[in-house]
Amino acid sequence: MVKQFCVCVLGVMLFGCQGDYLPKPKGYNRIDLPEHEYTNLPDTLPYQFEYSTIATLSPHESWITERYWIDINYENMDAMVQITYKPILNKDSLMRGYYTDSYKLTSQHNVKAYAIDEMILELPNGNFASVSSLEGEVPTPFQFHVSDSNRHFIRGALYFETATKNDSLAPVISYLKQDVIHLLETLQWDHGNKK
């Protein structure tokens, strides 16, 4: 009986381990992204642009919120593009301060970002936008700011409300970047008297 058991164990060891074992690759959740479609902002703001029809608008709510700050919410993606607006009032000191603050906010992510790629876009309205892509496990993988240099300044940042790693969110980040670029390309300033 012991002999038969030893022969069986030896047989399993010799013949059971043939062939190469290949581990299965990690799987990722399937992410179905809709076609890009856009609509206009309400005309109650000192700026106008087209934003995604799958998103909803809400006033930004925090203790530092100022007038004309909005959130573009992508509920089905657990994402939000936060838009902050500042009037420049033809004051160079204000404009320089807003640019400095924007760059400081982006550079604060140096701790977790392994790359920050900045690109300058010339927009159809004649303005230039600074667009920053942040690589790594950062809370805001995409940020931008734009101004008309004398009256208006906008800063925006893409946030995710999920613990999913950014490499897994890459298709969603790419999709939302395209929406933000469209937002910038359709940006128009209201030069009326909205206060």
CA 169 to chain centre: 10
Residue-level pLDDT at 92: 86
Closest CA to 133 of 123, 142, 145: 142
Print pLDDT tens along the chain (195 aa).
Answer: 767 766 666 666 666 555 665 666 666 566 778 999 999 999 999 999 999 999 999 999 888 888 999 999 999 999 999 999 999 988 888 888 888 888 888 877 666 777 888 999 999 999 999 999 888 888 888 999 999 988 999 999 999 887 667 677 888 999 999 999 999 999 999 866 454
Sequence-distant contacts of 87-96: CB under 8 A, at least 24 apart:
87/46, 87/151, 87/152, 87/153, 88/147, 88/148, 88/149, 88/150, 88/151, 88/152, 88/153, 89/151, 90/150, 90/151, 94/153, 95/147, 95/149, 95/150, 95/153
Rounded Cα–Cα distance for residues 130 and 121 (Å)? 6
Per-domain boundaries in the chain? 41-189
Rounded Cα–Cα distance for residues 63 and 169 (Å)? 29
Residue-level pLDDT at 23: 65
Closest CA to 118 of 134, 102, 98, 105: 134
Residue-level pLDDT at 11: 66
Q: Give the CATH number of domain 41-189.
A: 3.40.1000
DSSP 169: T
Give just the sign of the alpha carbon dihedral 22, 27, 30, 31. Answer: negative
Rounded Cα–Cα distance for residues 189 and 149 (Å)? 11
- Buried-state track 168-183, b at ≥16 Cβ within 10 A, e below 16: ebeebbebbbebbbbb
Residue-level pLDDT at 38: 97
Residue-level pLDDT at 65: 86
Residue-level pLDDT at 195: 47
Residue-level pLDDT at 16: 59
